[in-house]
Amino acid sequence: MAATAEKKKTASSKMKTKKKRTAPKKILVIVESPAKAKTIEKYLGRRYMVRASMGHLRDLPKSQFGIDVEHDFAPKYINIRGKGDLIKALKKDAKHASKIYLASDPDREGEAIAWHLAYILGLDPSDDCRIVFNEITKPAIQEAVKHPRKINLDQVDAQQARRMLDRIVGYKLSPLLWRKIRKGLSAGRVQSVTVKLICDREKEIQAFQSEEYWTVGMKLRKEKSAMFDAELTQIDGEKLSLRNKEETEKVVADLKEQALTVKAVKRSERKRRAPAPFTTSSLQQDAARKLGFVSRRTMRIAQQLYEGIELGHHGATGLITYMRTDSTRISELAQGEARTFLESSLGAAYVPEKPNVYAAGKKAQDAHEAIRPTNIELTPASLEKYLDKDQMKLYTLIWQRFAASQMTPAIYDTMSVTIQAGTRYTIRTNGSKLKFPGFTAVYAGADSKKKEKDIVLPDMEAGDSLHLAKTLPEQHFTEPPPRYNDASLVKTLEEKEIGRPSTYAPIIDTIQARGYVQRIDKHFQPTELGFVVIDMLEKYFKDIVNVKFTANLENELDEIAEGKVEKNDLLREFYGPFEQTVEKADEAIGKVEMPVEVSNVRCEKCGRMMVVKQGRYGKFLACPGFPECRNTKPLLVDTGVKCPKCGGAIVERKTRRGRKFYGCENYPDCDYTTWDAPQKETCKVCGSFLLLHRFKNGRTMLYCSNDACPSRIDHPINQELERIRARMEAKKKRDAEKAAEEAQKKEEKEQKA
């Protein structure tokens, strides 16, 4: 009995010892977003816990200047309001972690976020606590964890300098705008230059004088061959210059009397090289041109593809490399994988002997790669069921561009023919035929929806006689430079070295939110407020809106990141002259009166004629009797078409997100609405007004507004509307399935817990 009791005591003692053992501490990895955390945690395993900082945790205070100019521009950082609970949670996790790795994004802003995290968690920035990766794949994450490094304080200083320069301009200049123009205005260092570019382009358009000119095309034939196109290019050895119809008619009449003889034929082979893989800028430009995406939308979708998409049993998988980059470099590993894939799927002829290498811009940070798929074998077709419509479009664009960049050139047989008409006239025509598709087998280039067509000419030799079948004189007018759209504005900002790739989308958003610029039909136009503010800045703050000055500042920020320039030296050099300029301008500038546009709408509260005002979300009507009368109304643009339900006017309206639609002025009593623009033109069958439907590719289609009209039975618009309805139903179904799947996972997790 005693022996048994002793055994029980020993067993009990062992159990107590077991209970006292604590679980081994985990390694804490902190990233920026929850989506990224979820993907990375899967790759690292149980020894790691991955948490998200949700971006910045510390910043300069909003309510005060926050920079001590007298003490070497010392910034006053505070924890961002609303992040208190998150900071507590991170500190708690850090306390129980065996090691901490800061894995914010691999750019200057990410480096600054890591530096702030180190301060909050009490880490030494000179310790090996920073890890970076260019793609969220298992090998890249595991490799990054093996090679931690210290925080790059030069990059942190460059980001701090940028933030403080923007704070100096914003907090010193904005109050001046409040006093001189109106309350609520603000000015930014880079945004002001961007608004100036748009204003300058608008002034060019307004000052442009259109001139008439004519071209003379023609249809030619050799003996019994098919007709081909040609164009008159010279008269008496001088470049064609026809300014009116009379001149053109004389030339055309004279041409018809001349004998046409082939003067020279030049045959050659032309190679067209594939474009470089995407950088942030070129991705935004191509997405704007081909997909109609604004910069903000492009970057949001690219972020989703980078952070990870659920791929069935494979779980969350990062599909593209880091999307904020100005480098065109591709790693040797990715090049090798691409070459193997392309050779097996297309053939050896499509793979060059040596990998294609593309020149990087002078400011490119080659620590990054270009934007590319993390795995080229994940083709767009294989991911179709996992990606939504926008993700699919952008991923396809990135995949095709990268694949093309590693392929051989397209080869064309070209033929250039010079034709002499009598002694005075020179005519030219060019033919081109695709000999080998090369990279165009996967990527069409400038316009992915239009393959380059062959232009076939009959076989010709010098001395051959040709027949003039038809002349095609055409009137033209010179056109002003086009307004900027998303693609051309981003391209201009990059060319002029204004801002960085990661800042283009926020710049465009900011200048619209401030009411300085509005997007009309996908093009940017300055508002009256934009013109007033830029005119004032040009007069008193030339440096702030000077393109070269802003570009030079960007270069100096780059030099800080490279350790060549001290942060405080740059701030000191900028702050002194700028503060003096602000003081002088405050004394010199009087109150700026904004031009007032009076409407024909009478205020029902006080009887005054309401005026048009520009707000954050566009124009609206306001009573000029403010502050005694505070009446406001939406500014409704009359389409000139009557409502089919009640006879009221159909007016232009906007959704909360700014999307344009059309509805009856008598809303809510009348609920007639349509997304398509009503036209004054009427249907020839039933007499109802027509609607103009705009497709995303820019194509338009007119159709009758009357659903019961016989013209609607076989009209393509019915098929289009049916496709839209089907897409919406499919999206609802996918969302419901996803919600059910997430609910099931949550329930299983709770049961396990």
Token output for 455: 């232009």
Q: Is the four-CA dihedral 40, 43, 44, 48 of positive or negative sign? A: positive
pLDDT digits (tens, 9 = 90+) for 616-633: 666 788 898 888 898 888
**Neighbour order of strands in the sheet with 660-664:** 637-642, 649-654, 660-664, 673-674
In what helix (H) or strand (E) does residue 52 lie, and over which residues does it extend? strand 48-52
Picking from 412, 414, 411, 455, the residue whose alpha carbon sits closest to that of residue 265 is 414
Rounded distance between C-alpha atoms, residue 625 and residue 17, angstroms: 82
CA 365 vs CA 60, 108, 182, 501, 504: distances in Å: 27, 11, 41, 11, 17
Residue 199 in contact with residue 524, Cβ under 8 Å?
Answer: no
pLDDT at 403: 95
Buried b (16+ CB within 10 A) or exposed e, 284-293: bbbbbbbbbb
CB neighbours (10 Å) of residue 712?
18
In what helix (H) or strand (E) does residue 270 lie, and over which residues does it extend? strand 260-272
> Which of 336 and 14 is assigned the larger pLDDT?
336
Mean pLDDT within 455-471: 90
pLDDT at 6: 55
CB neighbours (10 Å) of residue 105?
23
Q: Active-site positions?
A: 322
Residue 344 identity (one-letter amino acid): S
Find the DSSP H helices in 123-279. Answer: 138-146, 153-180, 189-207, 245-255
Per-residue pLDDT band for 448 (boundaries 50, 70, 90) equals very low
Q: Round to the nearest angstrom and report the end-to-end CA distance of the chain.
A: 42
**In the predicted model, is pLDDT for residue 370 greater than 80?**
yes
Mean pLDDT within 716-737: 76
> Which of 446 and 88 is assigned the larger pLDDT?
88
pLDDT digits (tens, 9 = 90+) for 46-98: 889 999 998 889 999 988 899 999 988 999 999 999 899 999 999 999 998 99
Residue 567 in contact with residue 157, Cβ under 8 Å?
Answer: yes
pLDDT at 658: 66
**In the predicted model, is pLDDT for residue 106 greater than 90?**
no
Angle at 212 between CA 208 and CA 218, to 5 degrees: 135
Q: Is the four-CA dihedral 533, 158, 283, 287 of positive or negative sign? A: negative
pLDDT at 135: 84
pLDDT digits (tens, 9 = 90+) for 291-323: 989 899 999 999 999 988 888 877 788 899 988
Percent of the chain with pLDDT over 70: 93
Mean pLDDT of the chain: 86
Residue 641 in contact with residue 679, Cβ under 8 Å?
Answer: yes
How much is the pTM? Answer: 0.76
Token output for 520: 């009309």
Token output for 661: 């639609």
pLDDT at 618: 64
The conformation of residue 384, written as its DSSP 8-state character, comes to: T
